[in-house]
């Protein structure tokens, strides 16, 4: 029979008495008076319906029933103590797990410096990064596999999501040495179908935004090659296989090293953003809170 009226404090006091074998020592350990200890043990015995301790002039020891009860309660109290210790370790960033979903380009060109700093500050926090497209990352967020996503904005169907912009980005058209003359004069977007195009797979949010931009300007993008990696697109463009779109902020080094050229488009692709996405009404884990604070995001965004 379950006895829901028995408080955890009564069990805790009983365990202290059995462990120390003395009411006075138990009282000292618990920072309460000896009469309070004696009263608590009597209350527990009354509610359990039998004697739990044998009292002697030299101290106390458990009855057979009391010994059985103590055996299980001491294990339970140990688990409770372990749970509290683990909780406060997580609270003070001494342990825990940071679970992030993001694309390879966002990880490599945006998150990596923050992850490096975070690991230096909190070396005992486990970092788990799922390398997925924007919509795959959002699926992981909704099923609880990650605590946060850093994705290319805008996103659709965000009614259950908190979205915090983190960084402005600009999609630009680039080509290798063969297309260097175009970099000097620019190109009307309607001329894109005349050239071989290398694009991200249509599952990516970046590709969807480019397709939308093209359609709004009366153009259909028909790539000769579709890849899942922006870095591979850059490499293929560099050997003159075709033109590709990249995020300017993520490709500065490749563009400055030579062999690749930015081709101005008319009209330019609209600017976008990298955003942090969390589920609404879900408390932020302390491991994630530390990461967001390190990134310097506004406190109001953190406390949404």
CATH number for position 242? 3.40.190.290
Count of residues in the chain: 304
162 and 18 both lie in a single domain: no
Q: Whole-angstrom Cα distance, residue 180 to residue 244?
A: 14
Q: Tell me the per-residue pLDDT of 215-272, one tens digit each, with 9 for 90 and over.
A: 999 999 999 999 988 889 999 999 999 999 999 999 988 888 889 999 999 999 999 9
Same domain, 159 and 281: yes
Question: Considering 57, 91, 125, which residue would you say is the last residue of a domain?
Answer: 91
Average pLDDT over residues 148-166: 90
pLDDT at 302: 47
**9-13, 81-85, 200-204, 255-259: which has the minimum mean pLDDT?**
81-85
**34-48 vs 8-20: helix axis angle to the nearest 10?**
110
- Residue 70 and residue 118 in one domain: no
Those residues whose C-beta lies under 8 Å from the C-beta of residue 262, and which sit 6 or more positions away, are: 172, 173, 174, 183, 248, 255
- DSSP symbols for the chain: ---TT--HHHHHHHHHHHHHTSHHHHHHHHTS-HHHHHHHHHHHHHHHTS--EEEETTEEEE-HHHHHHHHHHHHHHHHHHHHHHHHHHHHTTSS-EEEEEE-HHHIIIIIHHHHHHHHHH-TTSEEEEEE--HHHHHHHHHTTS-SEEEEEEP-S--TTEEEEEEEEE-EEEEE-GGGHHHHHH-EEGGGGGGS-EEEE-TTSHHHHHHHHHHHHTT-----SEEES-HHHHHHHHHTTS-EEEEEGGGSHHHHHTSS-EEE-EESPPPPEEEEEEEETT-PPPHHHHHHHHHHT--HHHHT-
Q: Per the domain annotation, does 40 fall within a domain?
A: yes
Kindly state whether residues 160 and 286 are assigned to the same domain. yes
CATH code of the domain in which 145 resides: 3.40.190.10
pTM of the model: 0.71
Q: How many distinct structural domains can be found in the chain?
A: 3
| Structural domain includes residue 1 | no
pLDDT > 60? residue 2: no
Kindly state whether residue 65 falls inside one of the protein's structural domains: yes
Regarding whether 266 and 188 lie in a shared domain, the answer is: yes
Mean pLDDT computed over 184-197: 95
Q: Do 178 and 265 have their domain in common?
A: yes
Q: Are residues 25 and 142 in the same domain?
A: no
Q: Is the pLDDT of residue 90 over 80?
A: no
Residue 4 pLDDT more than 60? no
- Alpha carbon distance 260, 79 (integer Å): 60
Claim to verify: residue 163 and residue 290 sit in the same structural domain = yes
Residue 85's domain comprises: 8-91
């Amino acid at each position: 029979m379950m006895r829901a009226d028995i408080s955890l404090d009564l069990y805790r006091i009983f365990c202290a008495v059995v462990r120390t074998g003395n009411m006075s020592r138990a009282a000292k350990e618990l920072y309460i008076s000896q009469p309070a200890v004696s009263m608590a043990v009597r209350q527990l015995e009354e509610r359990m319906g039998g004697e739990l301790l044998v009292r002697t002039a030299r101290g106390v020891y458990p009855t057979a029933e009391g010994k059985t009860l103590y055996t299980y309660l001491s294990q339970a109290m140990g688990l409770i103590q372990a749970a509290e210790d683990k909780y406060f370790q997580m609270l003070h960033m001494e342990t825990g797990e940071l679970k992030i979903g993001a694309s390879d380009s966002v990880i490599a060109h945006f998150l990596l410096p923050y992850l490096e700093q975070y690991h230096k500050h909190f070396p005992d926090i486990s970092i788990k990064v799922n390398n997925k497209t924007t919509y795959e990352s959002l699926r992981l967020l909704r099923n609880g596999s990650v605590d946060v996503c850093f994705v290319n904005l805008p996103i659709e169907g965000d009614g259950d999501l908190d979205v915090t912009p983190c960084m402005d980005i600009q999609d630009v058209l680039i080509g290798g040495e063969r297309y260097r003359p175009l970099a000097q004069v620019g190109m009307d977007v309607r001329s894109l179908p005349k050239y071989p195009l290398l694009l991200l797979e249509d599952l990516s949010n970046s590709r969807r935004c480019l397709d939308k931009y093209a359609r709004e300007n009366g153009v259909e993008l028909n790539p000769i090659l579709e890849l899942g990696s922006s870095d591979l697109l850059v490499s293929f463009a560099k050997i003159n296989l075709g033109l590709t779109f990249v995020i300017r902020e993520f490709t500065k080094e490749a563009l400055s090293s030579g062999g690749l050229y930015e081709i101005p488009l008319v009209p330019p692709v609209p600017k976008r953003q990298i955003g942090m996405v969390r589920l609404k009404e879900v408390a932020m884990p302390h491991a994630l809170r530390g990461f967001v604070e390190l990134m310097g995001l506004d406190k109001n965004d953190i406390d949404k």
